[in-house]
């Protein structure tokens, strides 16, 4: 099997194993990953913020051969998630959750597919050694996907396909062979700045450069709801994640968005949950409703904090009772956030100094 045949076979097998979008990039002789210089500058500027793992895995991220000296190519693959609007804001939880986190946990779904795909690649003679990643490993996913021709990294720092948009999830298989590589996609953003202008926290320091310290996703998912107070109002309707920089993108117009992966789009119990229910969520209910959900990453407390913040910002009348119940919660963070949320309605006085939220003087 020559290089061209290896490339065709790899992409055919990727499609057969649930990845409709795929491409190949070769590993440089020195092992340096595409985008390694930009990543080093990003870290040097402190843009990773509280995401310390981005720093201490730097060597492995910028040089693929730091871990795999046999690495010669990367098969980058992608599948699309459900991008439809769901539910009623202020009543249902679902419209307050970023689209990529709504369906089944893609880490689990992809891990099963990637193991089978690796075996198929080896059996077909495309390669003899492999290793897969999906989101959690030390690898510059978007840079490799861009190098493999899956799209370009836009001004919103997301990978964008010219015909299918950016509502996609990425994964990679490192291989020890050198199939024919794909051509990178040109940059198509042009003069458009919709994503930069729409970001409520102004998290982009330059086109394509995201300061994670200002990104809502950093706080309401990665940091489990520990959003700094100065961003509570700016968090808007988002309980978990944020889709703003993608939904305003012209390449995500309804006529362009790809059909979702059916397994990723399977409904989960929590999608029937109200925003008020999320605010007073119990450990047992969290375990039952979020068993197969990527939202487990937020933790129970993080999801409650996010739901409280969203309810206050949209002034959800259906959540008032739940917010007032939180004023008696044993967790101080929950009490403080609920007090703040109620104050957004304009009907609740701030707690006097030294008065615990939940006392008679802290409610209207």
Which one is catalytic: 92, 135, 287, 331? 135
In the block, tokens 């969203």 appear at 310
- Identify the bridge partners of residue 152 per DSSP, sorted by sequence position: 160
Specify the higher pLDDT residue, 202 or 359. Answer: 202
Segments making up each domain of the chain, as ranges: 3-81+104-175, 194-362
Residue-wise pLDDT for 52-65, tens only, equals: 988 889 899 999 99
Would you say the pTM of this structure is higher than 0.85?
Answer: yes
Question: 326-333: long-range contacts at Cβ-Cβ below 8 A with a sequence spacing of 24 or more?
Answer: 326/279, 326/280, 327/357, 327/358, 327/362, 327/363, 328/358, 329/358, 331/301, 333/225, 333/226, 333/301, 333/305
Q: What is the mean pLDDT of residues 349-363?
A: 37
Model confidence band, residue 347 (pLDDT cutoffs 50, 70, 90): low
Beta bridge mates, 172: 76, 133
Catalytic residue status for 135: yes
Asked if residues 25 and 148 have their Cβ atoms less than 8 Å apart, the reply is yes
Predicted confidence at residue 135, as pLDDT, reads 86
Write out pLDDT tens, residues 179-191: 999 999 999 999 9
Q: In this prediction, what percent of the chain has a pLDDT beyond 90?
A: 89
What would the pLDDT profile of 279-302 be if each residue is shown by its tens digit?
999 999 999 999 999 999 999 999
Q: What pLDDT, on a 0 to 100 scale, did the predictor assign at position 78?
A: 98
CATH classification for the domain delimited by 3-81+104-175, as one of 3.40.109, 2.40.420, 1.20.1280, 1.10.3470: 3.40.109
At 355 the pLDDT is: 36
Residue 349 has pLDDT above 70, yes or no: no
Mean pLDDT for the stretch of residues 94-119:
95
Which pLDDT does position 136 carry in this prediction? 81
Check whether 364 has a pLDDT greater than 60.
Answer: no
The yes-or-no verdict on residue 360 having pLDDT over 60 is no
**Percentage of the chain surpassing pLDDT 70?**
95
């Amino acid at each position: 099997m020559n290089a061209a045949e290896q490339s065709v076979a790899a992409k055919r097998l990727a499609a057969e194993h649930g990845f409709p979008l795929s491409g190949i990039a070769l590993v440089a002789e020195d092992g340096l990953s595409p985008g390694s210089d930009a990543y080093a500058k990003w870290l040097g500027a402190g843009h990773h913020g509280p995401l310390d793992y981005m720093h201490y895995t730097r060597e492995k991220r910028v040089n693929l051969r730091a871990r795999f000296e046999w690495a010669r190519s990367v098969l980058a693959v992608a599948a699309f998630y459900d991008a439809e609007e769901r539910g009623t804001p202020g009543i249902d939880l679902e419209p307050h959750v970023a689209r990529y986190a709504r369906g089944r946990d893609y880490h689990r779904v992809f891990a099963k597919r990637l193991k089978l795909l690796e075996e198929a690649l080896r059996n077909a003679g495309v390669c003899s050694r492999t290793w897969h990643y999906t989101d959690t490993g030390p690898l510059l996913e978007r840079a490799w996907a861009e190098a493999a021709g899956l799209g370009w990294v836009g001004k919103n720092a997301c990978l964008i396909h010219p015909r299918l948009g950016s509502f996609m999830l990425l994964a990679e298989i490192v291989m020890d062979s050198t199939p024919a590589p794909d051509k990178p996609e040109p940059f198509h953003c042009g003069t458009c700045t919709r994503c930069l202008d729409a970001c409520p926290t102004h998290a982009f320091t330059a086109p394509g450069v995201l300061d994670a310290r200002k990104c809502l996703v950093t706080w309401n998912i990665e940091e489990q709801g520990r959003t700094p107070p100065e961003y509570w109002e700016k968090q808007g309707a988002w309980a978990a994640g944020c889709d703003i920089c993608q939904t305003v993108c012209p390449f995500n117009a309804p006529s362009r968005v790809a059909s979702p992966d059916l397994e990723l789009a399977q409904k989960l119990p929590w999608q029937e949950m109200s925003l008020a229910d999320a605010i007073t969520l119990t450990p047992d209910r969290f375990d039952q409703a979020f068993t197969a959900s990527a939202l487990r990453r937020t933790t129970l407390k993080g999801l409650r904090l996010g739901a409280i913040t969203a309810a206050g910002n949209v002034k959800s009348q259906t959540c008032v009772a739940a917010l007032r119940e939180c004023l008696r919660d044993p967790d101080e963070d929950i009490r403080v956030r609920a007090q703040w949320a109620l104050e957004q309605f304009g009907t609740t006085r701030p707690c006097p100094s030294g008065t615990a939220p939940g006392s008679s003087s802290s409610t209207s």
